[in-house]
Structure formats: structure tokens, C-alpha cells
């Protein structure tokens, strides 16, 4: 039997053939004929993969590299000699020397019919669609030379567009029922909000009792958007409001940019994944008309100061004061998708969440208080925009409790895709921009803040600071690279020994600081179940990011996504960080300045508690 | 009208022949696995659920597959329109079905059997479960069956919930696993990766019911009935315009006209063979035979006499498929809808022959491009009725719209 480590249902696993570890053994490869050419492929390779490695393009629609196989759209059909029907190349494992033909008249006719059928049910005009020029259905129609609607075309919408969620908009009129969103939500993220409902011609993708997305347990991660082949799912775009603010002379519009969009936005301008456009973006944003451009890495450093201090306080409370009301392990709280996930699915563990706000929200609160005073602008005239890789950030900034400055701390969360659209609209080709710096008084940012973008980054940044605070020495990792935090393994677990501690932290002498890093809520679920079973009693700190790969794989990032793309984005971030002069949050001079001038009672002090910390809501799974 | 036939009144060469509970199981233990498979292969038995896959091959494949556990599933979903033969077997011949399952378990090394019972048959649940309980008392189920060391097997019954597609074996397995009843990709086949990922044999009620007879009397005896390529006999569920509808056991190879005579059908215009997904045969072809080499069928026979409107018949079938497609794959979900729209267009007279031909081509695509048997066979009535009854359907006088139908 094949290995069953996959979470996906048996039905959707590609095949349960035993794939030999060593393909050089006898039987490890199979020689097949593809279009009359002999090729050797590893046993168990799908026809689609075999064709790909042999430069034969096969159209796909329901297939996605991150997801289990569906085999439902049927556009990848090929002819396998001796079989009565055509076979879906995405699902067909090669286990014997078969003969495959990929473009017979029957195959081409079938594909064309299928595309025609999909178009007959697809309501919406390409030029009014967010996915115009980046739509897989449109591309298929072009590839197959569709020049008329053979089977007709719907002329009025059948579904009401669901705009209830501040993050994700669902327009089922454009849905092709590939179920990539369903597989994302159920298998990849294990949230399980979306599923096919009814059967036959009544089949549609819906939520529990077809409720509005805002009224179900959606965590707003937007991973479904990233994997939707058409415009059926997209983020709630605030750019019209932002343009209006920019055009309003009484408004002082500031934007903070997070590291992940900077490492990915080039893709929207035709650049390969893995190039950062930080400085170029600063210039573009100023040309668009933002009054100030700030670096979210600054508030990431601030987050480390607050969250790291909170961790040390918790350790002291538990180990020294034996305070049973204080909970360990402490979980990170930067990922709003993760926050909503735990609020819905594990509300009984909210005490474990760090109370520190996310960098986006900390920045908002600081801008409308400290910055307003320094720059001498009225906070009510300031409009704060956050460029984020994330759709959940839109929900986060609209949480009613996020108004500690006395105003809405962050007015708009903008995704990478929406930012790119604004830049294009302003007539700017981003890669051509000269590079400029961020604005003061938050111009400094450490590399620690930068690596927040990749899974494990927050942990790495926190360890660099906490270890040094406790021992007075740098973390014992070459070039500050804490390798156990890096990479895309779902759940990573490691520890650092604390020795020769400074006076204040003598109570930690000899302790092993144990930590876990997980990304994607499916992995968060694994960790939470471990916690529930009491297996994490000796763990101190856990980083969780809702999206696979961390923020670089966020639901607001350029489409398409795949592990290769996410790896390239992460690489860009890690490379950029190594070249930075400051790489530890506590060495950020502007952060120090903020604590000296404004948050004078220090991290986790009175004022920072008011402005930089928050509380959570027990939501549970049932929403009435 | 049909008079209610009792079990004692049923006669037939194979299935309805004499049988006592447990007899074939005892014999099976005596002769052992290899001989059972030999007899089964020799008998030429093919699946009675519709697809006609050789039963011996299915059993051998799953016997050879490796898995910590194996399962026998009895497909009692009986959802094909016009089929009700499994109901008769379940009500009157449970000994055949359950003994067949026990023998199947013994042969492939499965310890668990599951009956997937059509939701509408819930009323039988109690009596079937009582029957299983009796079998347990007689040591025909449970541990060390009939004293054979290590031969453990038991049967549970699970109720379906009313979707036609759940009769398709992989959708059935999904349904058993608690998921949406949607057919799986093949390969892998259930014989390797079935229920919960374990090797699973899914057989129709009737297929399993034949097995005890073959084990007892041998493949050679079975082959004496039927034709060379279609051995044994078949249960036919006959309904529609005839004086004696009901379930009949008849040898394979019997002609349509012969069957029509037996059931006293008069003025017959058409016979729909194989349920909604089958083919519609006109009078001119009534000398064709029921056989895998001619017209294969799971046994549903619907008779239409001269008074019937074939376009309406077709429309009814297409409405069924539009509703019963599981909705997962494109050709079936949207294709059936387009075929139905085509029927509606013909009905209203608002069509071109060019477009109808395009739809026939679409039907051919659906036959090869759909994921499961539903979409692969749902164009059958569309293609066969429009072809075999084109006179009636396209002659505008006969259409619903009367003479003002405006075929262009
Ligand atoms: C849409 C669809 C519905 C089916 N319904 C049934 C059914 O109700 N009963 C049945 O025995 N087989 C049904 N089948 C056939 C099964 O998939 C499968 O071939 C059969 O159970 C195998 O058993 P057999 O080899 O004994 O015939 C159906 C197939 C399809 C495609
Ligand atoms: S052919 Fe029809 S019933 Fe079968 S998988 Fe496709 S949509 Fe479902």
C-alpha cells in the first residue's frame, strides 16, 4: 500500500501505487509512448507530469499544484490506447507501458466541447473582471480558438454576489465548479467553509446552509482566491476609497508596506518571482500621491519588543511566581487569519495568544498618536493604508476594538494585487522606478522585521532578541540564521539552551527554550490538537501563520501561487535581510527612540498596553 | 394487471432454482479458494449491475491485491429507473445474497461485508437484520464459520440516501465513507483501493445471488444456460405497456419479441432496455437478443406502445439525468442540461438540424469524456431515440406544437 501521510480524502489522492524510493531499481521506471515517441518516466508519474517533462503542453483547469487531484473539469483528457474512454491525464498514474496520444481529433473535439460547455454557464464579461488577462478560463478559450458560444451563453446572473465579508467576495456566476476553493478550504487549510451543495444542474459551491461568508467560520485567509482560476473569488478592493483620500487635499495619506508584497509585486509587472522591489515601490507610492511611505518592518520590530517581553513576563509568572492564570506556550498573534481560526475553532485557548497586536495594527495606532504629534497633523485628518499580502488584514483593521488611538487605527488594508492595479492605473511601470528610502521617523527597520514575511520569521526574530536579552549574547547560530525556523516543513519543532543568563533572568538558567513553528491552518490544527492532548506542556513559544509559506503565500499576493513561487519569494526576503546593517529588533534606533520619547514605561508598559495590545473574541463554530 | 407473485410461484433455471441456506458455503469451504475461482471463471459470470465486468476477474484481482483488510460490498442501491429485481431478491432470497457475500469474503480474504441498501428499501432493514442474526446463530456468520478455523466474516447493512449516482460503485464507496456521493477517478480501481483505501469487491445483488448456485452446481452447469458469450440467466424487471409486468428469470439470448410475448405486450412501439441510461429499440429491431454480444442490460425493460410520445419519453429521461448527475464533471453536469434544452427546442419547434447534430456530437463526447458511467451513458437515450424515432419526432405534425412547429 502506498504511504498514507496525505490529509486528502482517499478519493482525491492521485493514486495509491507504491512508488519505489530508488527509481534506478528494476521496475522503478516505465517506458511509455507519448505521441509515438518513447519516453521513460518514474513508476507512478501521472500522464500530465510525464507530458510536462517532455515539453508537451496539456490544458488543465481543476488541477492545481498545491491541491489534491480532482479530475473533474475533464479538459486534460488524453487518449490511452486500449481504453474505451478518454482519460484525465492529471489523475492517471503510469504503471505500465501504455501508449498515449495527446491531440487526436477526438481529444481535441472533447476539450473544445468542454470549454464550450463551461463558457455556456459562465456569466460575466472579461473586460469588467478583476481577473481579465489572468484567467485560466479565458486562456483556455483563447488556446482552443473559441470564436462563438456553441452552446449558448447565460445573459443574466443566476447568483447574487456575496459581498458580506470585508475580505473575500464570492461571485458564483463566474464559478466553473473546479472545486479548487473547496479543496483549498477543506484539505489545504482544513477550515471547511466551502463545499459543493446539491447535485446535477443545481450544484454550486456554498457555505453552511448557503449563509453569507461573513456569517460562517471563514477565517478570511483568501487562499481560495489565490487558487481560483477565474474571477469567482476576489478580495474586497478599497482602492477607490484610497484614491479619493489621495485626491482630497485635507487628508494626510500615509501607507505602510509589508515585506511580502514587496517581494512579490514584481510578478504583477511580468517579472519572475523572487525579486524585491522595496525602493522602487517607495518611489511609485510617492508618485501616486501618498504623503508618507513607512516600513511595516519598523512595527514588526516593535511587535518583537512587545511580544518578546510578554513571553519573558509569562515565563517569569509561570516559573517564578507560579501564577496559574498565566498560560504557556504563548502563541504569536501577527496573523489575522490564524487569530480568527483560533477564535472559531479553539476559543478555549485564547489565553495562550500573545496580546500584542499585529505589526499592521501597532503601526496604525502609533501613526495616529505619536506620529500625528511629531508631524503636527490632526489624527482625524490622517488616512492610514496598509499594503499587505493578506486578505484577512482587511477584516482585522475593521475589528471594532482596533481603535485605540481614538480613531480607526488602520483605515484600509490593501493587497499586493490591488496595489499593483493602482500603480498601473497611475501609469507607472514599477520595475523602471528609481529606488528611494522610507520616510522618517520610522525609516529604520531591522532584518528581523523583514523576515516576518516567511514562515518561521517571527520566531527567528523573537529568538534573536529574547536570547540576547536573557543571556547578553547573540543567538548561537552562524550569521544569525536560525536554520530550524526556516523552510516549508509544516510543523517545525526545536529548542535553544539558555546558559549564563544575566542577573534579571537567572530563573531561566539552564532551561531549554522550546519552540514550534507551523504554517497553514491545517498545521495549526495539528499543533492545537497536540496542545489539547497535553503534549506541549514543555513548549514555550509557538509561531503560527494562517497561510501556507507564511505571509509570502498570503491571500492578497499575486496569482498564481505554487510552492516554487513561494520559495522564490522567501529567498528574496532572506537574501535582502542578510545585506541589512541592523538585523535585531532591539537594535532598531527608531524603536528605541519611540520607547524613549513616547512609550516611556517600556515594552508591555501602561501606554503600550493601551495602544499596542488587544483582546480576542470567543466566536466558536456556530454563528447564529 | 399484475397478480402478486409469491416466492413459491417463482421459477427459473438458475436463480429461482432450489437452494437451502448455508449449503453453498459448506461446499465452498470444502473445495477451497482456488476451486471457487475456477468454477466462477468457468461459469463466465459477468456482473449483473449493468457494466458486465467478469466476476471471477474482479475477485481474483482483489484476492491478489495486498491490504491489511478487504471488504465485500453488496450494491443494493437499485436506482436505475425501471429496475426492481434486486428488491425481489432482497425480500425473498436473502439466503442467496448473503451466502454469496460469505463465499466472496472467503475467496478474497475479506472479513467484513457491507450491504449498501437503497434508502427507499428501509422497510426491509428489520427483516434483513433479523435474517443476519439467524445466520449468526447458525454460525454462517461470525467467527470460525461452520467450524473452519480463521474463517471470520460478518455483514452490516447501511442505508443509502436517495441519489441515483450512489449506485455507481466508487460513489457508493464515498457515500459509505461519509462523503458526498461523487464517483472517484479510476485508476486506482476499488479492487485495489476501495472502501477506506482497502481492496474492495463491489457486486450487484443479483451477481452475488448467482454465486451460491455456481459453487454448488459448477460452472459447467451454469454455462448450459444462455449463449456462448452470455452464460446463465438474467433477471428482467419488466414494466410499462404490457399485461404482465414483473420480475422474470430468463436465459440470456432470448429475443425482444419473445420477451414481449411472455409479458403479453401488444402494439409495442419501442422498448427501452437498460433503464434511463440504456438504449431505445424500435419495432424493426425486435428480433435482436438480450446478450452481452447484442444488447447488454442490467435487466430494466420498459415497454412503450403506440400511444406513447417518444419525445416526451426522451424528455423524461433527460430531466432525470440533469437532476441526478452528481454535478462534479463538466461534460455530464452541463452536457445533460444542453441535451435537455435540445429536447425542449425540438418540442417547441425552435431548432435547426445543424444544432441537433452538434448536440449528438456533444453526446458522443460525453460518452468518452465523462468521469463515470452516468455521464458516459446518459446520452444513449438522446442518441438512440432521436435516431430510431426521427420520423415521429421530426415530423412536425406529430410534435407537441402540432403543425405550427417551425423546424428550419
Ligand atoms: C450511475 C450509475 C448507477 C448505478 N447504479 C447501480 C445500482 O443501483 N446497482 C448496481 O448493482 N449497480 C449499479 N451501477 C453499477 C456499479 O457501478 C457497478 O458496476 C456494479 O455494482 C458492479 O457489480 P457487478 O459487477 O456485480 O455488476 C451503477 C452504475 C452507474 C454508473
Ligand atoms: S459523469 Fe456525471 S455523475 Fe459521473 S462523475 Fe461526472 S458529473 Fe458525476
Q: Could you read off the pLDDT tens digit of each residue along chain B, which spans 408 residues? A: 445 566 667 888 999 999 999 999 999 999 999 999 999 999 999 999 988 999 999 999 999 999 999 999 999 999 999 999 999 999 999 999 999 999 999 999 999 999 999 999 999 999 999 999 999 999 999 999 999 999 999 999 999 988 999 999 999 999 999 999 999 999 999 999 999 999 999 999 999 999 999 999 999 999 999 999 999 999 999 999 999 999 999 999 999 999 999 999 999 999 999 999 999 999 999 999 999 999 999 999 999 999 999 999 999 999 999 999 999 999 999 999 999 999 999 999 999 999 999 999 999 999 999 999 999 999 999 999 999 999 999 986 555 444 333 443
A123 shares its domain with A91: no
Contact A113/B334, CB-based, under 8 Å?
no
Lookup: cell for A78: 488524453
Q: Does residue A277 belong to any structural domain of this protein?
A: no
C-alpha torsion sign, points A229, A231, A237, A243:
positive
* HSE value, Cβ hemisphere, 13 Å, CA-based, for B397: 1
Residue B10 domain flag: no
**Residues A307, A354 contacting (CB under 8 angstroms):** yes
Residue B372's domain spans which residues? 312-393
**How many C-beta neighbours within 10 Å does residue B11 have?**
9
Total of domains in chain A: 3
Same domain, A141 and A178: yes
B212 and B67 in a single domain? The answer is yes
CA atoms of A616 and A157, how far apart (whole Å): 39
Q: Are residues B205 and B117 in the same domain?
A: yes
Is A109 a member of any domain? no
Cell of A461: 526574530
> CA dist A323 to A230, A328, A440, A531, A545, Å?
53, 11, 41, 19, 28
Q: Residue B313 and residue A256: Cα distance in Å, rounded?
A: 66
Is A120 inside a domain boundary? yes
Domain termination residue (choose one: B255, B273, B305): B305
* A77 and A219 inside one domain: no
Q: Is B62 in the pocket of ligand 1 (CB under 6 A)?
A: no
Residue B402 domain-assigned? no
Residues 197-216 of chain A whose Cβ lies under 8 A from any Cβ of chain B: 198-203
Both A504 and A574 in one domain: the answer is yes
A121/A166 same-domain check: yes
ipTM above 0.85, yes or no: yes
Structural domain of A345: 304-356+446-612
For residue B1, the model assigns a pLDDT of 40
**Residue B14 domain flag:** no
Cα atoms found within 13 Å of the Cα of residue B73, Cβ hemisphere only: 33
**Pair A224, A340 in one domain:** no
CB of B108 within 8 A of CB of B63?
yes
Which three-class secondary structure state does DSSP give residue B247? strand
First to last CA, chain A: 44
**Residue ranges of A 62-91 with Cβ closer than 8 A to chain B:** 69-75, 77, 84-86, 88, 91
Residue B52 Cβ contacting ligand 2 at under 6 Å? no
- Indicate whether A316 and A465 sit together in one domain: yes
B35: CB partners within 8 A, 6+ apart:
none
In a domain, B177, yes or no: yes
Residue that has been written with the C-alpha cell 447458525 in this structure: B138
Residue A258 lies in a domain: no
How is residue B186 written as a grid cell? 479510476
Top residue of B356, B368, B372 to mutate, by most chain A CBs within 10 Å, is B368
End-of-domain residue from the set A200, A218, A235: A235
**Domain count for chain B:** 3
Tell me the chain B residues in contact with residue A93 when contact means C-beta distances shorter than 8 Å: 187-188
Q: Which of A59, A81, A103 is the last residue of a domain?
A: A103
Contact pairs from chain A to chain B, CB under 8 Å: 138
pLDDT average per 10 residues of sequence, chain A (624 residues): 43 54 73 96 93 97 94 98 97 94 97 98 93 97 94 94 97 97 95 95 96 97 98 97 98 98 97 96 98 96 96 95 95 98 98 97 97 96 98 97 96 98 97 96 88 95 95 94 94 95 94 96 97 96 97 98 96 94 94 95 96 97 81
> Which domain CATH number covers A127?
3.30.70.20
A494 and A566 fall within a common domain: yes
The verdict on residue B1 lying in a domain is no
Q: Give CA separation, A140 vs A59, A76, A348, in Å.
A: 7, 11, 47
Alpha-carbon Rg for chain A in angstroms: 26
Place of cell 505589526: A359
* A228 and A319 inside one domain: no
- The verdict on B218 and B97 lying in the same domain is yes
3-state DSSP call for residue A467? helix
**Domain end marker among A53, A73, A103:** A103
Q: Please tell me which residue of chain A has the smallest CA distance to B171.
A: A11
Single out the residue of B218, B254, B219, B215 nearest to residue B233, CA to CA.
Answer: B254
Same domain, B242 and B350: no
Cross-chain CB nearest to B185 (options A85, A91, A151): A91
Q: Please report, for the domain that includes residue A472, its CATH number.
A: 3.40.950.10
A597: its cell numbers: 520619547
* DSSP per-residue letters across B328-365: -SHHHHHHHHHHHHHHHHHHHT---HHHHHHHHHHHHH
Q: End of a domain among B197, B223, B249?
A: B223
Q: Among B275, B305, B335, where does a domain finish?
A: B305
Please report whether residue A126 resides in a domain: yes
Among left, alpha and beta (phi > 0; psi -120 to 50; other), residue A55 is left
Amino acid at each position: 500500500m502506498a504511504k498514507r501521510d496525505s490529509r486528502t480524502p482517499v478519493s482525491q489522492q492521485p493514486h495509491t501505487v507504491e512508488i519505489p524510493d530508488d527509481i534506478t531499481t528494476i521496475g522503478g521506471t516505465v517506458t511509455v509512448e507519448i505521441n509515438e515517441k518513447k519516453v521513460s518516466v518514474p513508476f507512478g508519474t501521472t500522464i500530465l507530469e510525464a507530458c510536462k517533462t517532455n515539453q508537451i503542453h496539456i490544458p488543465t483547469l481543476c488541477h492545481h499544484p498545491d491541491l489534491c487531484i480532482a479530475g473533474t473539469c475533464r479538459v486534460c483528457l488524453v487518449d490511452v490506447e486500449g481504453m474505451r474512454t478518454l482519460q484525465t491525464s492529471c489523475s492517471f498514474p503510469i504503471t505500465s507501458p501504455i501508449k498515449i496520444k495527446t491531440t487526436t481529433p477526438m481529444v481535441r473535439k472533447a476539450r473544445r466541447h468542454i470549454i464550450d460547455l463551461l463558457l455556456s454557464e459562465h456569466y460575466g464579461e472579461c473586460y469588467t473582471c478583476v481577473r481579465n488577462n489572468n484567467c485560466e478560463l479565458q486562456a483556455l478559450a483563447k488556446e482552443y480558438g473559441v470564436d462563438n458560444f456553441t452552446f449558448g451563453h447565460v445573459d443574466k446572473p443566476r447568483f447574487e454576489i456575496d459581498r458580506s465579508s470585508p475580505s473575500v467576495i464570492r461571485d458564483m456566476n463566474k464559478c466553473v465548479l473546479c472545486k479548487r476553493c473547496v479543496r483549498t478550504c477543506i484539505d489545504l487549510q482544513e477550515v471547511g467553509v466551502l463545499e459543493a451543495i446539491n447535485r446535477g444542474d443545481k450544484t454550486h459551491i456554498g457555505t453552511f446552509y448557503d449563509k453569507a461568508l461573513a456569517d460562517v467560520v471563514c477565517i478570511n485567509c483568501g487562499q481560495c482566491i489565490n487558487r481560483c482560476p477565474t474571477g469567482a473569488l476576489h478580495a474586497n478592493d478599497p482602492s477607490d476609497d484610497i484614491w479619493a483620500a489621495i485626491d482630497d487635499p485635507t487628508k494626510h495619506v500615509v501607507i505602510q508596506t509589508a515585506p511580502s508584497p514587496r517581494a512579490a509585486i514584481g510578478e504583477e509587472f511580468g517579472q519572475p518571482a523572487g525579486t524585491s522591489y522595496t525602493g522602487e515601490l517607495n518611489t511609485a507610492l510617492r508618485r501616486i500621491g501618498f504623503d508618507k511611505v513607512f516600513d511595516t518592518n519598523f512595527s514588526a520590530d516593535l511587535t518583537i519588543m512587545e511580544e518578546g517581553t510578554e513571553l519573558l513576563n509569562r515565563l517569569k509568572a509561570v516559573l517564578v511566581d507560579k501564577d496559574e492564570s498565566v498560560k504557556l506556550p504563548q502563541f504569536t498573534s501577527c496573523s489575522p487569519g490564524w487569530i480568527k481560526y483560533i477564535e472559531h475553532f479553539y476559543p478555549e485557548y485564547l489565553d495562550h495568544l500573545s496580546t500584542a497586536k499585529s505589526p499592521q495594527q501597532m503601526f496604525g495606532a502609533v501613526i495616529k498618536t505619536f506620529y500625528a504629534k511629531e508631524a503636527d497633523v490632526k489624527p482625524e485628518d490622517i488616512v492610514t493604508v496598509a499594503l499587505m499580502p493578506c486578505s484577512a488584514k482587511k477584516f482585522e483593521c475593521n475589528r471594532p476594538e482596533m481603535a485605540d488611538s481614538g480613531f480607526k487605527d488602520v483605515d484600509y488594508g490593501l493587497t499586493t494585487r490591488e496595489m499593483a492595479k493602482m500603480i498601473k492605473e497611475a501609469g507607472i511601470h514599477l520595475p523602471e522606478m528609481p529606488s528611494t528610502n522610507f520616510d522618517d521617523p520610522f525609516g529604520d527597520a531591522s532584518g528581523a522585521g523583514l523576515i516576518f514575511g516567511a514562515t518561521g520569521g517571527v520566531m527567528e526574530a523573537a529568538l534573536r532578541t529574547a536570547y540576547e536579552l536573557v543571556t547578553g549574547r547573540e543567538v548561537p547560530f552562524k550569521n544569525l540564521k536560525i536554520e530550524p525556523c526556516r523552510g516549508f516543513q509544516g510543523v517545525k519543532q526545536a529548542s535553544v539552551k539558555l546558559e549564563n543568563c544575566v542577573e534579571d533572568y537567572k530563573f531561566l538558567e539552564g532551561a531549554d527554550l522550546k519552540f514550534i513553528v507551523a504554517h497553514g491552518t491545517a498545521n495549526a490544527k495539528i499543533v492545537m490538537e497536540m496542545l489539547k492532548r497535553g503534549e506541549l506542556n514543555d513548549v514555550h513559544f509557538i509561531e503560527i501563520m494562517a497561510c501556507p509559506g507564511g505571509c509570502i503565500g498570503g491571500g492578497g499576493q499575486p496569482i498564481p501561487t505554487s510552492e516554487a513561487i513561494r520559495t522564490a519569494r522567501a529567498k528574496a526576503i532572506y537574501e535582502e535581510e542578510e545585506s541589512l546593517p541592523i538585523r535585531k529588533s532591539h537594535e532598531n534606533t527608531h524603536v528605541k527612540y519611540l520607547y524613549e520619547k513616547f512609550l516611556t514605561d517600556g515594552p508591555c508598559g501602561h501606554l503600550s498596553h493601551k495602544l499596542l495590545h488587544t483582546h480576542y473574541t470567543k466566536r466558536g463554530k456556530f454563528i447564529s | 394487471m399484475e397478480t402478486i407473485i409469491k416466492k413459491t410461484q417463482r421459477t427459473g433455471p438458475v436463480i429461482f432454482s432450489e437452494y437451502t441456506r448455508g449449503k453453498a458455503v459448506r461446499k465452498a469451504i470444502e473445495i477451497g479458494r482456488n476451486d471457487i475461482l475456477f468454477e466462477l471463471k468457468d461459469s463466465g459470470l459477468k456482473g449483473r449491475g449493468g457494466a458486465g465486468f467478469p466476476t471471477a476477474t474482479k475477485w481474483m484481482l482483489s484476492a491478489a491485491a495486498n491490504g491489511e483488510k478487504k471488504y465485500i460490498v453488496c450494491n443494493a442501491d437499485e436506482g436505475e429507473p425501471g429496475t426492481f429485481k434486486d428488491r425481489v431478491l432482497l425480500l425473498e432470497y436473502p439466503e442467496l445474497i448473503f451466502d454469496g457475500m460469505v463465499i466472496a469474503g472467503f475467496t478474497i480474504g475479506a472479513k467484513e461485508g457491507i450491504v449498501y441498501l437503497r434508502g427507499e428499501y428501509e422497510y426491509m432493514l428489520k427483516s434483513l437484520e433479523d435474517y443476519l442474526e439467524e445466520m449468526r446463530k447458525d454460525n454462517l456468520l461470525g467467527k470460525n464459520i461452520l467450524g473452519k478455523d480463521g474463517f471470520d466474516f460478518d455483514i452490516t447493512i447501511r442505508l443509502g440516501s436517495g441519489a441515483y449516482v450512489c449506485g455507481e460503485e466508487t460513489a457508493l464507496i464515498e457515500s459509505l465513507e461519509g462523503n458526498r456521493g461523487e464517483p472517484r477517478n479510476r485508476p486506482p480501481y476499488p479492487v485495489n483501493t476501495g472502501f477506506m483505501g482497502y481492496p474492495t469487491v463491489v457486486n450487484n445483488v443479483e451477481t452475488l445471488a448467482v454465486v451460491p448456485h455456481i459453487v454448488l452446481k459448477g460452472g459447467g452447469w451454469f454455462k448450459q444456460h444462455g449463449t456462448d458469450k452470455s452464460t446463465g440467466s438474467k433477471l428482467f424487471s419488466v414494466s410499462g405497456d404490457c399485461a404482465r409486468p414483473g420480475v422474470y428469470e430468463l436465459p440470456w439470448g432470448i429475443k425482444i419479441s419473445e420477451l414481449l410475448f411472455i409479458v403479453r405486450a401488444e402494439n409495442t412501439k419501442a422498448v427501452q432496455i437498460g433503464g434511463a441510461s440504456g438504449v431505445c429499440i424500435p419495432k424493426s429491431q425486435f428480433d435482436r437478443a438480450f446478450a452481452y454480444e447484442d444488447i447488454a442490460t442490467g435487466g430494466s425493460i420498459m415497454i412503450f406502445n403506440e400511444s406513447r410520445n417518444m419525445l416526451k419519453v426522451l424528455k423524461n429521461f433527460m430531466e432525470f439525468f440533469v437532476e441526478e448527475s452528481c454535478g462534479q464533471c463538466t461534460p455530464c453536469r452541463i452536457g445533460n442540461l444542453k441535451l435537455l434544452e435540445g429536447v425542449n427546442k425540438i418540442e417547441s419547434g425552435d431548432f435547426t438540424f445543424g444544432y441537433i447534430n452538434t448536440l449528438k456530437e456533444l453526446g458522443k463526447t460525453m460518452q468518452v469524456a465523462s468521469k463515470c458511467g452516468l455521464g458516459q451513458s446518459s446520452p444513449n437515450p438522446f442518441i438512440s431515440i432521436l435516431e430510431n424515432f426521427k420520423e415521429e419526432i421530426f415530423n412536425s405534425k406529430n410534435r407537441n406544437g402540432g403543425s405550427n412547429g417551425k423546424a428550419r
